Amino acid sequence: MESPLFAQPCRLLSLPDELKLHILNYLDTRRDLYNVSRTCHVLEDVTMARLYHSVDLDLPLGRVSKEPGTSILRAPVTQSIREFTVRSGPLNRRRSVYSRRRKSDAGSIEVHVNGILDKIPMKRLKSFAILHQTPLSQQTLDLVVRRNEHTLQHLGFYEAAPWQESTLLPLNLTSLECRAVNEGDGVENIISANRSTLQKLYLGQEKQLVDQYRRTRVGFLEQIPQPAETFLTSAFALDKYSHLRELSLSGLDVTLLRPTTTSQAVLFCKLERLSLESCPGTTELLDSIAGTFHWTSYSPDAPQNPPIFPSLKHFLLRHENPNTALKDAVIRFLSSFTGLRTLSLLFENAAVLERPSTLIAEHGPTLHTLVLESRIQPREHLSLDTSRPFGVGGYSSELWEESINDIVRLCPNLVELGMGFPWNDELVRLHKTALPTLQHLKTIHIRNFPENQVFSQLGDYSIKEYATKFIEWAFPALVGGGRPTLEQLAIGPTLYESRWKMSPASNTTTSTSTSTSTSTRRQVPEFLRTHHFCLDWATTRFGRWSPLITPVSEKYMEELAGEKPLRGVFEQVWLR
């Protein structure tokens, strides 16, 4: 959690209001209020210049309200930016019909982004990311590289527009992020120009992955279109990366990533973070890495001067087809080394019969973040909770109690815990667990959510009220006494925000049958059509915030209709 705004005591703000008025009256009698106003304006500019070194800007999918040529950000902000990120904001539906008669929304977004980049002082920008549905154009890339050639260290984009061979490429990047590489031509050129300096690499086929997931929830991994084989061969040549420490992949076939040489094996041992999300070939890759870790640790043929040991600290895995072979490979992989600080396992379309203690292995003493989630099928409506705890196909009070106690016993230094909880309050209340004994636990994310038909009374609670009830249930020994050390409580499953951002219907669809099939395929799941959302604090697969499912009672309907400002169910939950 971020530190409070005023970490140090501020004596001026703590003065009584009456004394502040006396100060202003004194200045007024001295005819000095004008200079006070000017001084406050200067202080405001200086404060903004120090606050806005990092700017994360949401631009709507529809047309930006500002006209081209007018700046979205104030001058003190653009003069101080060091890290600039642009994301897709909510669709501007009011202007969507009008915007179709004008130039494209992509052009409008590009004009505004380029306008901001042009006002940032030269050699100032260290990080630039356009994680927007608008592709990174050649003009934008040229502008960023030309003005920040020697300072730019991180470049991120959702996808790239076609570039010419004469496009300026950034050099000396330490971090590269591309959410949809497509065929991979332009991305391959950037990778080749920065192999010797790259420390963090994120590559994915998010656009194609989302499209396949919308069509079918099961068995779609092999249907994801892959980049050209030349790109995969070049990008996965790990022995050519001398400083790579973090590797994150989503939707890419990782078959070619398996280590085959000693130099590749050494690089896997140097990795500190590995993230594999919906990647075909994951089973074979994890088996190969497990063999590599075992070889470097125990084989006499492994490098000895100096000795090489696995240094992996963060491992994140998501898979929509977790068969027995994959689960066995995960266990072998996690048992081949020690020292993890983050372990996140998200499985869909299967129950995991292995207990948490089997997967935690010897990593317990060093783990700070543990996330375990298993769904027997994708959750499409509120009448079925598909989440299941690790170790069995259904919830039981004994299993939940034993799992919690195992986690507490094995992971005494846990700071963040994300897993399913049983929603029967009597079950939680009657079974006291060792959860309150975790002295460093600050965040709990309840990954599942109650079935709306069974627990409809939750609609009568605000989120804050229900959070209080959960604390009473999960920490019964602390009721009436001291509060737990919790600072954040997130409730609800991790929904994939990017997968349900439906774009307006295309004008090219003319056939009635075609329109019907298109609308059926793009229809949003029931819980997104009938329920309202606020945000929780759980990061989803693509680094965005996930919506929190919240049944809303009738007393909030007038607020949601715009007749009253949003309150109540939308209030944030802070337990400090």
DSSP class per residue in 39-102: HHHHHHHHHHHHHTTEEEEEE-SS--SSPTTS-SS-HHHHHH-SEEEEEE----GGGHHHHTTS
- The maximal CA–CA distance of the chain, rounded, in angstroms, is 86
Pairing of strands 342-348, 127-131: unpaired
Distance, in Å, from the CA atom of 511 to the CA atom of 127, rounded to the nearest integer, reads 46
Q: Which residues have CB under 8 Å from 503's CB, separation 6+?
A: 61, 91
Q: What is the structure's pLDDT at 403?
A: 85
Chain-centre distance for alpha carbon 196: 27
Q: What is the structure's pLDDT at 562?
A: 40
Task: Report whether pLDDT(538) > 80.
Answer: no
- Residue range 173-333 forms a domain whose CATH class is alpha beta
Task: Name which of 196-210, 220-234, 367-381 the model is least confident about.
Answer: 367-381
Q: Which two tokens stand for residue 228?
A: 């050209």
Average pLDDT value for residue range 338-357: 88
pLDDT 10s digits, 365-378? 999 999 888 878 77
Task: Report whether pLDDT(5) > 90.
Answer: no
Distance, in Å, from the CA atom of 343 to the CA atom of 240, rounded to the nearest integer, reads 28
Structural domain boundaries of the chain?
24-168, 173-333
Task: Report whether pLDDT(561) > 80.
Answer: no
Q: What is the structure's pLDDT at 505?
A: 34
pLDDT band at 504 (very low <50, low <70, confident <90, very high): very low
Task: Report whether pLDDT(94) > 60.
Answer: no
DSSP 173-209: -SEEEESB-TT-HHHHHHHHHSTTT--EEEEEBHHHH
Chain-centre distance for alpha carbon 389: 23
Select the more confidently predicted residue: 38 or 161. 161
Q: What's at 517, amino acid-wise? A: S
Q: What is the structure's pLDDT at 541?
A: 33
Task: Report whether pLDDT(25) > 80.
Answer: no
Backbone phi and psi for residue 52, each to the nearest 5 degrees, phi listed first = -105, 45
Q: At what angle do helices 138-147 and 105-119 cross, to 10 degrees?
A: 10
pLDDT 10s digits, 431-472? 677 888 888 888 887 766 554 444 433 444 445 555 666 777
DSSP3 helix / strand / coil % (the chain, rounded to 5): 40, 15, 45
Rg, the chain, Cα only: 26
Average pLDDT value for residue range 389-393: 66
Is the separation of the CB atoms in 110 and 144 below 8 Å? no
Select the more confidently predicted residue: 523 or 419. 419
- What is the DSSP code (8-state) at residue 223? G
Q: What share of the chain in percent tops pLDDT 70? A: 65
CA-CA-CA-CA dihedral for 396, 402, 407, 409, to nearest 10: 170
Average pLDDT value for residue range 8-36: 72
Average pLDDT value for residue range 118-133: 91
Q: Exposed (0-12), middle (13-18) or buried (19+): which is 62, by Cβ within 10 Å?
A: buried
Distance, in Å, from the CA atom of 501 to the CA atom of 104, rounded to the nearest integer, reads 19
Place of tokens 């460093």: 440
Task: Name which of 92-106, 187-201, 214-228, 527-541 the model is least confident about.
Answer: 527-541
Average pLDDT value for residue range 120-136: 90
pLDDT band at 404 (very low <50, low <70, confident <90, very high): confident
Select the more confidently predicted residue: 391 or 477. 391
Average pLDDT value for residue range 133-161: 92
Q: What is the structure's pLDDT at 563?
A: 41
Q: What is the structure's pLDDT at 131?
A: 85
Q: What angle do CA 134, 140, 144 make, to 5 degrees?
A: 130
Q: What is the structure's pLDDT at 79?
A: 85
Chain-centre distance for alpha carbon 273: 15
Task: Report whether pLDDT(408) > 60.
Answer: yes
Q: Which two tokens stand for residue 498?
A: 């990017």
Is the separation of the CB atoms in 497 and 547 below 8 Å? yes
pLDDT band at 279 (very low <50, low <70, confident <90, very high): very high
pLDDT band at 497 (very low <50, low <70, confident <90, very high): very low
Chain-centre distance for alpha carbon 288: 28
Average pLDDT value for residue range 548-568: 35
Is the separation of the CB atoms in 492 and 545 below 8 Å? no
SS3 label, residue 86? strand
How does the average pLDDT of the chain come out, rounded? Answer: 73
Is the separation of the CB atoms in 343 and 367 below 8 Å? yes
